[in-house]
């Protein structure tokens, strides 16, 4: 039996309990009394004596968990908004860079007297590493199709440098092999990293159809004669950016009435179907021959359509550039 003796003053610090344990009553004190009707947290009673305790209701404290979670969510939302803004700005910058690249290249359709020139560039990523230019000079039209090794932004940014070098050397009015050699030297002398690139460059005399060309490690251009004969234009030398003293040679042909010259990047012939087969040179020749009598623009889309049909649903793996130069015998003013 437990008998509690409460002090008269509720503020006292102790409470006395008389405990009957067997036949001998004993006195025990409960420490840290906190007020009327409250029993202390700590008891000095023996461990074998049971006591019914009254526990104070816990003080109300605001929950910090929900507040922290809300702060974290707000922080993540702010970061997401910032990332979306950065992405939009990057997308705009890439679009503007693509427009600059488009302006550096020749218009899709050109005509110089009897010669029609059609070209198209497809980028595997946002910015192509291929380019095609056509510039009229005092001694002919200089045509260049180049392919920077690599893909994406890095290759696309190098095109600006390479086109600038081409324009600089073309303005000197020298032969194609000297233009190519000069561009190669300038690339090799760059103090930091330098690109590797293939290039097909030709100078066309629109008065008589004479074509002087130089191929720097580029896939051979195809010349389809009006009688159905094929010629591969291979004269030139190695890739640009390998050796600063590389030697380049010149090739010469003449485009007669209804002859067609096809210049392309390796993305055309290396396009693959679902079985991993490449489009290749032979399919390209066959498609060119089947569209022989058409205009340069029609031949261009005929070849591109054949490549797309061949690849079917398989995505592009490299930039694709195609240019068609056709002498049709119909006189016209320079575009």
DSSP secondary structure string for all residues of 153-195: HHHHHHHHHHHHHHHHHHTTT--HHHHHHHHHHHHHT-SS---
Q: 23 lies in a domain?
A: yes
What pLDDT does 51 receive? 46
CA distance 115 to 257: 9
Show the tokens assigned to 146.
């180049």
DSSP sequence for 16-82? EEEEEETTEEEEEEEES--STT---SSB-S-TTS------PPPPP---HHHHHHHHHHHHHHHHHHH
| Number of alpha carbons in the 13 Å side-chain half-sphere of residue 261 | 28
Among residues 323, 324, 319, the alpha carbon closest in space to that of 158 is found at 319
Q: By CB neighbour count within 10 A (0-12 exposed, 13-18 middle, 19+ buried), where does 96 fall?
A: exposed
Q: 36 lies in a domain?
A: yes
Among residues 234, 247, 311, the alpha carbon closest in space to that of 279 is found at 311
Both 168 and 278 in one domain: the answer is yes
Both 149 and 279 in one domain: the answer is yes
- Percent of the chain residues topping a pLDDT of 70: 78
- How many CB atoms within 10 Å of residue 320? 27
CA distance 288 to 281: 10
Q: 287 lies in a domain?
A: yes
Both 26 and 111 in one domain: the answer is no
CB-CB contact of 157 with 183 (8 Å): no
Both 152 and 261 in one domain: the answer is yes
Return the CATH number at 182: 3.60.40.10
**Rg of the Cα atoms in the chain:** 42
Both 162 and 290 in one domain: the answer is yes
What pLDDT does 105 receive? 87
In terms of residue numbers, what domain contains 158?
A: 106-327
What stretch of H or E contains 310? helix 296-311
Which stretches of the chain drop beneath a pLDDT of 70?
1-65, 329-335
Q: 334 lies in a domain?
A: no
Question: Count of domains in the chain?
Answer: 3
CA distance 211 to 233: 11
Q: Encode pLDDT of 257-282 as tens digits.
A: 999 999 999 999 999 999 999 999 99
Among residues 184, 209, 186, the alpha carbon closest in space to that of 199 is found at 184
User: Is this model's pTM higher than 0.75 or not?
Assistant: no
Both 97 and 128 in one domain: the answer is no
Q: 289 lies in a domain?
A: yes
DSSP sequence for 22-37? TTEEEEEEEES--STT
Both 47 and 80 in one domain: the answer is no
Both 215 and 317 in one domain: the answer is yes
Of 18, 34, 56, the one marking the end of a domain is: 56
What pLDDT does 224 receive? 96
Both 154 and 96 in one domain: the answer is no
Q: 63 lies in a domain?
A: no
Show the tokens assigned to 166.
């081409």
Q: 332 lies in a domain?
A: no
What pLDDT does 41 receive? 44
Both 137 and 86 in one domain: the answer is no
Q: 32 lies in a domain?
A: yes
Cα separations in angstroms, 14 against 11, 44, 169: 9, 11, 105
What pLDDT does 154 receive? 73
Both 214 and 143 in one domain: the answer is yes
Both 28 and 72 in one domain: the answer is no
What stretch of H or E contains 251? strand 251-254
Q: Encode pLDDT of 123-172 as tens digits.
A: 887 788 899 999 999 889 999 999 998 777 777 778 888 999 999 999 88
């Amino acid at each position: 039996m437990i008998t509690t003796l409460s002090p008269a003053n509720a503020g006292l610090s102790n409470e006395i309990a008389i405990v009957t344990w067997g036949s001998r009553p004993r006195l025990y004190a409960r420490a840290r009394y906190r007020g009327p009707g409250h029993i202390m947290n700590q008891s000095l009673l023996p461990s074998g004596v049971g006591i019914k305790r009254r526990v104070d209701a816990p003080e109300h404290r605001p929950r910090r968990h929900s507040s922290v979670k809300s702060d974290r969510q707000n922080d993540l939302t702010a970061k997401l908004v910032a990332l979306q803004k950065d992405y939009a700005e990057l997308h705009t910058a890439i679009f503007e860079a693509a427009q600059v690249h488009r302006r550096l290249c020749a218009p899709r359709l050109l005509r110089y007297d009897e010669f029609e020139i059609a070209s198209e560039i497809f980028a595997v990523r946002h910015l192509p590493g291929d380019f095609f230019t056509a510039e009229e000079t005092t001694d002919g039209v200089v045509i260049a199709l180049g392919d920077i090794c690599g893909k994406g932004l890095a290759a696309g940014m190098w095109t600006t440098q390479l086109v600038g070098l081409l324009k600089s050397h073309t303005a000197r009015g020298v032969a194609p092999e000297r233009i190519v050699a000069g561009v190669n030297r300038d690339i090799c002398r760059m103090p930091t990293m330098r690109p590797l690139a293939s290039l097909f460059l030709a100078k066309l005399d629109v008065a008589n159809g004479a074509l002087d060309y130089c191929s720097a490690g580029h896939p051979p251009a195809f010349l389809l004669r009006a009688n159905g004969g094929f010629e591969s234009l291979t004269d030139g030398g190695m890739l640009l950016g390998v050796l600063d003293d590389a030697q380049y040679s010149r090739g010469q042909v003449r485009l007669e009435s209804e002859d067609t010259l096809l210049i392309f990047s390796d993305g055309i012939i290396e396009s693959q179907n679902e079985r991993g087969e490449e489009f290749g040179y032979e399919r390209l020749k066959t498609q060119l021959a089947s569209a022989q009598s058409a205009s340069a623009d029609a031949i261009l889309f005929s070849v591109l359509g054949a490549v797309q049909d061949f690849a079917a649903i398989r995505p592009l793996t490299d930039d694709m550039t195609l240019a068609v130069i056709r002498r049709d015998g119909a006189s016209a003013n320079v575009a």
